[in-house]
Amino acid sequence: MPDLSFSSFVKKALARREAALTLLLVVLLVPISIRSPQFLSAKNISTILNDMAILSIVAIGEFYVILANGIDLSVGSIIAFTGMATGMINEANPTVSPLLLLLAGMGIGMVMGLFNGVLVAYGKIPPIITTLGTVNIYRGLTFLLSGGTWVTAHEMSKTYIDFPRNTFLGVSNLLWIAILVIAVFYYFSRYTRTGREVYAIGGNPTAAKFVGVNENRVRVVVFLISGTLCGLAGALWTARYASAVNEMATGFEMQAVAACVLGGVNFAGGSGGIIGVVIGTLFLGVVTNALPVIYLSVFWQTFVQGLIILIALTLNTISDQRKTKKLLAQRRG
């Protein structure tokens, strides 16, 4: 019965969030590409991937915070501060290497993430409140740093602005960096002790305590990762958009959270994976990019993003409930 086994295979594959989302993505692509054949052109695909590179970096940081049963609302402000800082460093020292600017961004972001993490872990302030405060503090610091002015394209060095766009083996540096980040954190999740401990703390903090997992350390680490990746994203953002604006990346936390939720990351902590987050990011990218193709104005963008978050959360909840029911039935039976 090859037919039966195929359908059971499909069922099993669909049970995994990553596969289901990929399938949905393909299904979505069909009508879009019929409507606009150029949508699947190499050029457009490369545009989408480059557009999504920065989001995927930030979403991975957000992923670890959510995995440990928290949320980081300050990502947009950290991007703005680090982006502004690297832009101004570049303005003052036009000869400095772009790689050093990226490192500077990461360093600053790391400190900001550390501050979040220490408040959450040792100050025992809930993550949502902590980062609700720091989202404003960091945005305010951005204005203080810049004195309200911008750094524009002709105030920055060409090497910096060109850095994300330059290609290596036909792939842009920006995309290479995103791929590197994805690879590093895929490895981190699967093969390191701390990566494992994040799952344990998010899944059951009490049980983790009984085996001696240092909860505070894990909580600091997740915010540290998020802050550092936002710093990297900030430095890349300024170069890619060739300007540092005080308002940059406002509301970016919503997109990062959306990518995670879409990728099947449990909002209550403890489950989810890097691959899911990456596919979630891609999904958001395709939908955003496709809006003009299906003659929906860009004004719909945030509306659609909000809708996607709600649908994804509802689906997560339904599948969780089903799983619980199935487990109960199994135990009874």
* 122: nearest Cα among 26, 230, 215, 27: 215
**Between 158 and 190, CB nearer to another protein:** 190
Query: What are the C-alpha distances in Å from 28 to residues 112, 215, 294?
Result: 39, 41, 12
Instruction: Find out whether 81 and 75 touch, Cβ atoms under 8 Å.
Output: no
Nearest-approach distance from CB 192 to another protein, in angstroms = 6
Sign of the four-CA dihedral 164, 256, 253, 31: positive
**Between 170 and 212, CB nearer to another protein:** 212
Q: Containing H/E element for 63?
A: helix 42-67
Nearest-approach distance from CB 186 to another protein, in angstroms = 13
DSSP per position, 109-166:
HHHHHHHHHHHHHTS---HHHHHHHHHHHHHHHHHHHHTT--B-GGGS-HHHHHTTT-
Nearest-approach distance from CB 266 to another protein, in angstroms = 8
Q: Containing H/E element for 168?
A: strand 167-168
**Between 27 and 329, CB nearer to another protein:** 329
Q: Which residues bind another protein (CB under 8 A)?
A: 191-194, 196-197, 199-200, 203-204, 206-214, 266, 270-271, 327, 330-332
CA angle 248-139-162, nearest 5°?
A: 35
- The two tokens of residue 134 are 């720091």
Interatomic CA distance for residues 84 and 7, integer angstroms:
53
**Between 153 and 328, CB nearer to another protein:** 328
**Between 120 and 201, CB nearer to another protein:** 201
**Between 95 and 330, CB nearer to another protein:** 330
Q: Which amino acid is at 240?
A: R
Nearest-approach distance from CB 67 to another protein, in angstroms = 11
Nearest-approach distance from CB 17 to another protein, in angstroms = 14
**Between 140 and 203, CB nearer to another protein:** 203
Nearest-approach distance from CB 211 to another protein, in angstroms = 4
Could you tell me which residues are beta bridge partners of residue 168? 171
Nearest-approach distance from CB 13 to another protein, in angstroms = 17
- The two tokens of residue 45 are 């695909």
